[in-house]
Structure 1
Amino acid sequence: MTFQISAISIYNKDGEIRTVPFQTGKLNIITGDYRRGKSAILDIVDYCLASDDYVIRGAALRNFVHVFALTVEKDDQQLFIARPAPTGKAATATTLCIMSQAHGAPPPARTELSFSTPLDVAKRVLSRFAGIDQTVQLPVARSARQIAPSVRHALFFCLQEQNEVANPDLLFHGQTEEYHRPALRAMLPYFLGAVDPERAQREHQLKLLKRQLTEAQTTLVTTRDFRPASGTAAALHSEAVEASLINPVTAGGLLAEGEIIDRLRQAVAAAEPEARGPSSDDPLSGLADDRRGLRQAYANTRMRISNLKNIAREKDDFLGQVREQHARLATLGLLPRPSAEEQEPARQCPVCGAVAPEPDQTARIIRQDLVRLDAEMATIGDATPDINALISEEENALADLRGALARNQEQIDVLSAGQRVASQDDPRHRAAVVQGRISLFLETMARQAEAPPVDDRREDLAAQIAEFEELLGSTVQDDRLSSFLSLVNLKIQAKAVALDLEHKEDPIRLDPRALTVVADTRRGPVRMSQMGSGQNYLGYHVATMLSLHEWFTEQDSPVPRFLILDQPSQAGFPDETRDGGFGSARATLLNLYRTIQQSLNTLQGSFQVIVMEHADLDEEPFRSAVQDRWRRSNGGALIPQHWITDDNTD
C-alpha cells in the first residue's frame, strides 16, 4: 500500500495556517470561479513532492505564501512535508521539512518546522514511503546510463494539469519535456510490474560490454605494430630525410632498429626552420596534451571504480558478520526488545520468564548490542544503493573517456594527414609538421614501453557478450509487458464504451513507445491526436489514467494512490450547469464523474481522485463529492482574503 493525500496547507509570513482537507479513498471536488486558487492545489502537491523547480504560479501565492505543505498517509502512518518558498534570488528552495506524525494529527505550527532535509534526500525518503525500490537500475533508450525509479517518476501517472487533461498530443504529466519522455518509456514497464530488476541490470551490462569491445578494437589498432623498427618508424624516417631534417643513408645501407630511432631523435632535435611559427600554434601539440589529460583521467577513474568495489565488498562482508552476531543474540526471541515506555532495565529472566530481584546485567547488555547491531545494519543497508549508483556513474564516465581517447586519436590521424598534404609546397612548414609527428611517435612509443602490454580482451569480451545475449534471449519480460498492457487495454476499452467515445467499437491500446492511445481500425491505426473532438481527448485521458490506477492497485505497484485532474470540464461547463443548461454536454460531464466513481467503488477505498472544477452539478456523484465552493459570491478561495495586503515588503 502506498500513500494518498489527506490535506494541503499553506502558511503566511505570520505563521497563520490555511488547510484544505481531502477524504482518502473517495472523489474530492473543489469547484469555484476563475482565479480562486484551484489549480494551485496540483502545483502545491508537485512542489512538496520534491520538484526540482519552483512550480507555484500566481502572484498571490508567490507574494503572500511563505511555506507550502502536504499531508500524506498510508495505513496508520502519516507524513507531513513542508517546503518554503524560495527567498532572495534563489530559483527554488533546496531543503524540506519531513515529519512523521500520528494519524490524524494537524499541521504543526510554523515555529516547529525545521527545513533541514536536502532535496535529493527528500526524494529518497518520499520514494521509500511510496514503496519504490531504489536499488533497481533501469536502462534508458539511446543512453549508456541507468536511472533509479523515484516518486518523481510515479507522478507521471498521478497528475493531469489543465493543459494536459484534454491535450490531444500528450497523455502523461510532463510528457512535453524532452528529457521526460525516455524516462516515461523506461518507467511504465516498471510501475506496471513487468520489469525484472536483474534483467535490467544485465541489459545495462551488455550495453557497456559492447562499448568496451568496440573500444578494445580501436585500442589494438592504435597500439599495433608500435615496435622501434615498425613500418611507422621507417615511414617517419623517410619523411625526415625528405624534409632535410637528417642526412640520407648511404646507397644500399640498411639501418638497424636502434639506428632508426636514434636518427628520429636527431630529426626532432634538429634546428627549427626560421619561418616556423611557435609550437603553441601546432594543433597536434594541443591534441597530444589533451590525450595526456584524458589518459590521466582514465587512470584516476579506474582507480575510483576499484576503490568503490572494494568498499562494496568490505561492506557486504561486514554486514554479513553483523547479521550473524544479531542472529546469535536474538536466537529464539528469548530477549524481546523493551517497549518505548520501559525506563528501567528488564528484571525478567530471558529463559524462564520469572521476575528477578535485581536487573539482569547480561540481558541488558545483550539488548543494547541488539539495538546497536540494528542501527548498524540499517545504516549500512541504506548506503548500498548510493555505492552502487556511484560505481555505475564511474563506469559510465570510464566508457565516455574511452570514447574520447578514440576520438582524440582519430583527430590526430586526420590532422596529420591533412597537414602533410597542405605542406607539400612549403618545405619549412613541412619540416615542422614532420618534427611534430616524429615527436608524437617517440612520446607514444616511450609510453607504450613503460606501460604494461595491452591485453587483447576481444575474445573474452565477445564471450561475455554472447553469454549475456543468451541470458537475455528469453522474451519473458517482453511477454509480461505485452500481457499486462493487454489487460490494461481491456479496462480502457470498457471505459471508452461507458464514456461513449469515438472508436469505442475498435480495439484500443496504450502504446508504450509513442506514449499515446491508439485505436486499431480496418483502415489502420488511429492515434488519439487524430480522433478529433475535445470530448475524445478528455475521455481517453481519464479512461487511461483510471485503468492504469486500477492495475497499479491490483498489482500493489508503488505509484501513489491518487489522481489529480485540473478542470476536466475546461471552459465549456461554467457554473450555469447547476440550472440544467448545456444539454448533452452537461450529461457527458455527469457521465464522466459516474465513470470515475465506478473506478473508486471497484477499488474500495484504495484510490483517491481530486478534481478542481468550474462546473457545479446537483446530481450524484458530483454533489456529494464537493468539498468546498470557492466563489466570489461567498468569498471562498485558497488564500484567505486578509492575507492579501498592499504591504509586501517582507
Structure 2
Amino acid sequence: MTFQIQAVTIYGKQPDQMRTVPFDTGTLNIVTGDSRRGKSALLTIIDYCLASSGYPVKAGKVRDYVSTYAVTLVKPNQRLFVARRAPEGKAAVSTVLCIISQAPGTPPPPLEDLNFVTPLDAAKDMLSDFCGIDRTVRVPAVGRAQTIAPSIRHALFFCLQAQNEVANPDLLFHSQGEEWRPNTIRGVIPYFLGAVDPEQALLRNRLRLLRRDLADLEAALATTRNLDPAAGQARALLTEAVEAHLVPPLTGPESSAADVLGFLRQALNHTGPQPDQDSNDDPLGVLNTRRNELRRLHGQTRVKITDLKRALAENNDFTSQATEQRARLVSLGLLRRNPETSDATHCPVCDSSLPSANATVTALTRDLAHLEGDLQVIGSDTPAIQRLISQEEGQLQELRSALARNQEEINEVTAGLRALQQEPDDLRRAAIVQGRISLYLDTAAHQAIAPQVDDRREDLRRQIADLEELLSDDTQGERLASYLSLISQKITGKAAGLSLEHSENPIRLDVNRLTVVADRADGPLALANMGSGENHLGYHVATLLSLHEWFAEHRGPVPRLLILDQPSQVYFPPDHTGEAILRAHDRNKLLNIYQAIHHTLRLLGGQFQVVVMEHADLDHPAFSPYVTQRWRYDNDQALVPPSWIGQATD
C-alpha cells in the first residue's frame, strides 16, 4: 500500500512561526485564489520534501519568509512526517532531512523538535520503501548502458503536473523536459505498470553484469597480448637500434621473440656505435616495401578464397540437381530388369507390348551411370575445396596479423626517426633509442612478473548462455503491450466523455514517444499536433486519471495522489490576474474536467487523492464543496501569512 498527503507545513524564519495546510485524503482538494498567493508553491514544496535533488521552490515570498518545509504522508495505520530546510547561505540545496514516524492523528511537531540528520540518499530510500517500491529491482536505462533502481523520484513522474506541464502539448509527464528524463521515464514505466517480474529483473541485471565482466576480461587479455615482447613495438625498436648503430644489421630469416629481446638487451648494453655501418640504410623504406608486399599477398589470398567459395557453391548446386535427377531414375525401378535377357518387345514396368523397350532401359541406365560417376567426382572434390578454403583463410589471418605488426613497426620507426632527426649527434641519438628500449624492456619485465590474467571467457560465456536461455521465455514486452492497450481503452473512454477533438478515434498511450496518439484512418496524430489548449489539458487529465486507475487496481507502487496546478489557465488570457470569471462555454468545459476527476475518485473508493490549485472559484456541486483554501487579496489570505511578512527577518 502506498501513501497520500495529509498536510503541508511551513516554518517561518522567526520563532513560533508555523503554518499547516491540511488536505482530505481519498477525495478532491481545491486551493483557489489570486496570482502570487502561494498556490503553485504547494506542488514545489511537496516535490522538494520528497527527496528532490534540486530546490524547485521559486523565488518570491515563500523563499523569502520560509525556513523549513514539511509534508505529512499517510497510509492505513501509518504516518510519516518529512521536513527539509531551505538552502542556507550559498548552498544550492539542503542535503539532510528530518523523517519522523508518527501515530495517526499526531500534529506536525514544532521546529525546535526537528532533528535533521537523514542524508538525502537515505531519505529517498525510506520514502521509496514507504511508497511500496521494491528497491532490489533494476530496470534497463533506455539509451544508456546502465540500470535504474526505481524510486520515489520516478513515481512522481505520474503524480505532479506543474503549471507549465498540465496543458503542455510536448510534455505529458512531470519533468519530462529535463535532460535524460525522457529515457528514464521510458525505463521505469514497465515497472510501475506491473509488467516487470522482479525475479526476471534480477536475472537481466545479472546478465548485464556478466556481459560487462566478459568485455572487461577481453580488454585485459587484449592488453596482455599487446604487451607481448614479440609484438611489433619490439621489432620496431630493434630496427631503430640498427639505424642508431647499436647492433649490427640483421640478416637471415625473421628473428624469433627471444632473439628480438636478446638483440634489444645487447643494444641497451652497447656503449658506442658499431663501426663501418652504412648510414644510408632506410628502415622506413624497408618497412613500407614489406607492407606493400603483404598487402599484395592479402589481396591475392582474398581473391583465391572468393574463387574457391564460388567453385564450392557451383559444386553444391550441381550436386543438388544431379542427386534429384538420380533419385528420379532410381525410383523407376528399371535397374531390376536385365536388358540382355529380357524380352525386348515388352515394357519392363507394366509388361505390355512395347517395341525397343530394352533400348530405353539401356539409355536410362547409361544416364544414371554417368550421373553417379559425376557425383562421385564432385563428392571427392568438395572436401578438397573446403580444405583449401580453410588453409587460405588461415593464411589471410596471418597476413592481417603481419600487416598489424608492420604498422606498429612503421609507427614506432616514424616516431623514433622524428626524434632522432632533432639530434645531430650520433651518440645522443643512440642514447634516445636506448632510453626507449629500456622503457620497453622494463614494461615487458613487469608484465612477465605481474599476476597473469585468468582466462575465464568460456565460463562467462557459458553463464551468459544459461541466463539467456532462462530469459528466452520472458514475456515482459508482451505484458507491457497488453497493459498499455487496456490503459489506452480507458483514455479513449475519458477523452470521449470530455468531448475532446479526435476522441472518436482510438487513443493510445505511446511510451516510446511519451505522448498520446489518435489512430485516425488517415494516419496517427500525436498530441502536439492536435491543436487547442483545451485538447492538451483534456488528454493530460484523461491519461493521468487512467494511469492512476490502473495503479490502484493493480497495486502499483505510485503515491495515490495527483496534483494539478491551474488547469483552468487554458480558458484565461495569459495576462489574467483578477478574479476568475469564465464564460458559460468555458465554465462547462472546465466543469467536465472536474466531473472526470470525481468519476475516478468514486471508482477508486477513497484510494485516490487529487489536489488542484486554481484561479477559478466555481459555484457548482462538483467544485465549491471541495474548496479547502481561498487565498485572495480581498480576504488577506495566502500560503505565507501576512503577519510573517510584517516582521523583520534574520
For residues 87 and 31 of structure 2, the distance between their equivalents in structure 1, rounded to whole angstroms, comes to: 27
> CA 1:588–1:102 in 2, change beyond 3 Å: closer, same or farther?
same
Residues 209 and 461 in structure 1, CA contact (< 8 A), matched pair in contact too: yes
1:28 corresponds in structure 2 to 29
Q: Which whole-Å deviations, capped at 9, do the CAs of 1:569-600 have from their partners, x for residues lacking one?
A: 11634798976x41211110011110011100
Residues 577 and 617 in structure 1, CA contact (< 8 A), matched pair in contact too: no
Q: CA deviation at 1:199?
A: 2.1
2:544 corresponds in structure 1 to 545
Residues 236 and 412 in structure 2, CA contact (< 8 A), matched pair in contact too: no
3-state secondary structure, aligned to 2:525: strand
For residues 576 and 91 of structure 1, the distance between their equivalents in structure 2, rounded to whole angstroms, comes to: 34
Q: CA deviation at 1:202?
A: 2.6
**AA in 1 matched with 2:456:** R
Residues 6 and 24 in structure 1, CA contact (< 8 A), matched pair in contact too: yes
2:51 corresponds in structure 1 to 50
Normalized against structure 1, the TM-score is what?
Answer: 0.73
Residues 138 and 197 in structure 1, CA contact (< 8 A), matched pair in contact too: no
Residues 132 and 557 in structure 2, CA contact (< 8 A), matched pair in contact too: yes
> CA 1:501–1:138 in 2, change beyond 3 Å: closer, same or farther?
same
**AA in 2 matched with 1:88:** G
1:459 corresponds in structure 2 to 458
Residues 161 and 564 in structure 2, CA contact (< 8 A), matched pair in contact too: yes
For residues 210 and 516 of structure 2, the distance between their equivalents in structure 1, rounded to whole angstroms, comes to: 36
For residues 440 and 95 of structure 1, the distance between their equivalents in structure 2, rounded to whole angstroms, comes to: 51
> CA 1:234–1:33 in 2, change beyond 3 Å: closer, same or farther?
closer
Q: Which whole-Å deviations, capped at 9, do the CAs of 1:405-431 have from their partners, x for residues lacking one?
A: xxxxxxx99998546335546644686
For residues 608 and 416 of structure 2, the distance between their equivalents in structure 1, rounded to whole angstroms, comes to: 75
**AA in 1 matched with 2:2:** T
> CA 1:187–1:228 in 2, change beyond 3 Å: closer, same or farther?
closer
Q: CA deviation at 1:613?
A: 0.2
Residues 31 and 614 in structure 2, CA contact (< 8 A), matched pair in contact too: yes
Q: CA deviation at 1:643?
A: 0.4
The reply on whether 1:262 has 2:262 as its aligned counterpart is: yes
3-state secondary structure, aligned to 2:472: coil
> CA 1:209–1:111 in 2, change beyond 3 Å: closer, same or farther?
closer
Q: Structure 1, unaligned stretches of length 5 or more?
A: 274-411
For residues 479 and 543 of structure 1, the distance between their equivalents in structure 2, rounded to whole angstroms, comes to: 24
> CA 1:560–1:227 in 2, change beyond 3 Å: closer, same or farther?
closer
3-state secondary structure, aligned to 1:642: helix
Aligned counterparts, 1:411-430, within 5 A: 418=411, 420-421=413-414, 424=417, 427-428=420-421
> CA 1:414–1:588 in 2, change beyond 3 Å: closer, same or farther?
farther
2:295 corresponds in structure 1 to none
Residues 43 and 55 in structure 1, CA contact (< 8 A), matched pair in contact too: yes
1:179 corresponds in structure 2 to 180
For residues 220 and 79 of structure 1, the distance between their equivalents in structure 2, rounded to whole angstroms, comes to: 53
> CA 1:570–1:420 in 2, change beyond 3 Å: closer, same or farther?
farther
For residues 485 and 431 of structure 2, the distance between their equivalents in structure 1, rounded to whole angstroms, comes to: 69
For residues 147 and 407 of structure 2, the distance between their equivalents in structure 1, rounded to whole angstroms, comes to: 34
> CA 1:458–1:586 in 2, change beyond 3 Å: closer, same or farther?
same
3-state secondary structure, aligned to 1:473: helix
3-state secondary structure, aligned to 1:586: helix
For residues 415 and 636 of structure 1, the distance between their equivalents in structure 2, rounded to whole angstroms, comes to: 79
For residues 143 and 469 of structure 2, the distance between their equivalents in structure 1, rounded to whole angstroms, comes to: 22
For residues 272 and 44 of structure 1, the distance between their equivalents in structure 2, rounded to whole angstroms, comes to: 79
For residues 213 and 204 of structure 2, the distance between their equivalents in structure 1, rounded to whole angstroms, comes to: 14
For residues 39 and 88 of structure 2, the distance between their equivalents in structure 1, rounded to whole angstroms, comes to: 24
Q: Which whole-Å deviations, capped at 9, do the CAs of 1:107-162 have from their partners, x for residues lacking one?
A: 11222111122211111111111111112122212333322111111111111000
Residues 494 and 596 in structure 2, CA contact (< 8 A), matched pair in contact too: yes
For residues 36 and 226 of structure 2, the distance between their equivalents in structure 1, rounded to whole angstroms, comes to: 75
**AA in 2 matched with 1:5:** I
For residues 604 and 28 of structure 2, the distance between their equivalents in structure 1, rounded to whole angstroms, comes to: 12
Residues 157 and 172 in structure 1, CA contact (< 8 A), matched pair in contact too: yes
For residues 578 and 535 of structure 1, the distance between their equivalents in structure 2, rounded to whole angstroms, comes to: 17
Q: CA deviation at 1:503?
A: 1.6
For residues 432 and 566 of structure 2, the distance between their equivalents in structure 1, rounded to whole angstroms, comes to: 70
2:445 corresponds in structure 1 to 446
1:506 corresponds in structure 2 to 505
3-state secondary structure, aligned to 2:524: strand
For residues 221 and 9 of structure 1, the distance between their equivalents in structure 2, rounded to whole angstroms, comes to: 60
3-state secondary structure, aligned to 1:237: helix
**AA in 2 matched with 1:421:** T
The reply on whether 1:477 has 2:476 as its aligned counterpart is: yes
Instruction: Say how many residue pairs are matched.
Output: 509
* Identity among equivalent pairs (%): 54
Q: CA deviation at 1:471?
A: 2.1
**AA in 1 matched with 2:548:** H
Residues 54 and 91 in structure 1, CA contact (< 8 A), matched pair in contact too: yes
For residues 41 and 474 of structure 1, the distance between their equivalents in structure 2, rounded to whole angstroms, comes to: 46
Residues 79 and 98 in structure 1, CA contact (< 8 A), matched pair in contact too: yes
1:361 corresponds in structure 2 to none
Greater CA drift, 560-569 or 138-147: 138-147
**AA in 2 matched with 1:72:** L
2:618 corresponds in structure 1 to 617
Residues 144 and 208 in structure 1, CA contact (< 8 A), matched pair in contact too: no
> CA 1:637–1:139 in 2, change beyond 3 Å: closer, same or farther?
same
> CA 1:614–1:437 in 2, change beyond 3 Å: closer, same or farther?
same
Q: Which whole-Å deviations, capped at 9, do the CAs of 1:90-118 have from their partners, x for residues lacking one?
A: 21111111112221221112221111222
Greater CA drift, 417-426 or 538-547: 417-426
1:102 corresponds in structure 2 to 103
1:518 corresponds in structure 2 to 517
For residues 557 and 568 of structure 1, the distance between their equivalents in structure 2, rounded to whole angstroms, comes to: 26
For residues 548 and 50 of structure 1, the distance between their equivalents in structure 2, rounded to whole angstroms, comes to: 23
> CA 1:77–1:226 in 2, change beyond 3 Å: closer, same or farther?
closer
**AA in 2 matched with 1:71:** T
Q: Structure 2, unaligned stretches of length 5 or more?
A: 274-404, 423-428
The reply on whether 1:597 has 2:598 as its aligned counterpart is: yes
For residues 567 and 239 of structure 2, the distance between their equivalents in structure 1, rounded to whole angstroms, comes to: 79
**AA in 2 matched with 1:619:** H
3-state secondary structure, aligned to 1:467: helix
**AA in 2 matched with 1:630:** W
Normalized against structure 2, the TM-score is what?
Answer: 0.73
3-state secondary structure, aligned to 2:607: coil
3-state secondary structure, aligned to 2:473: coil
Greater CA drift, 164-173 or 145-154: 145-154
Q: In angstroms, what is the RMSD of aligned CA positions? A: 2.9
Q: CA deviation at 1:234?
A: 4.4
Residues 232 and 408 in structure 2, CA contact (< 8 A), matched pair in contact too: no
Q: Which whole-Å deviations, capped at 9, do the CAs of 1:236-269 have from their partners, x for residues lacking one?
A: 42332133332335x6599776554233124345
Aligned counterparts, 1:314-353, within 5 A: none
2:92 corresponds in structure 1 to 91
For residues 431 and 519 of structure 2, the distance between their equivalents in structure 1, rounded to whole angstroms, comes to: 68
For residues 615 and 10 of structure 2, the distance between their equivalents in structure 1, rounded to whole angstroms, comes to: 22
2:632 corresponds in structure 1 to 631
Residues 40 and 57 in structure 1, CA contact (< 8 A), matched pair in contact too: yes
**AA in 2 matched with 1:616:** D
1:193 corresponds in structure 2 to 194
Residues 579 and 615 in structure 2, CA contact (< 8 A), matched pair in contact too: no
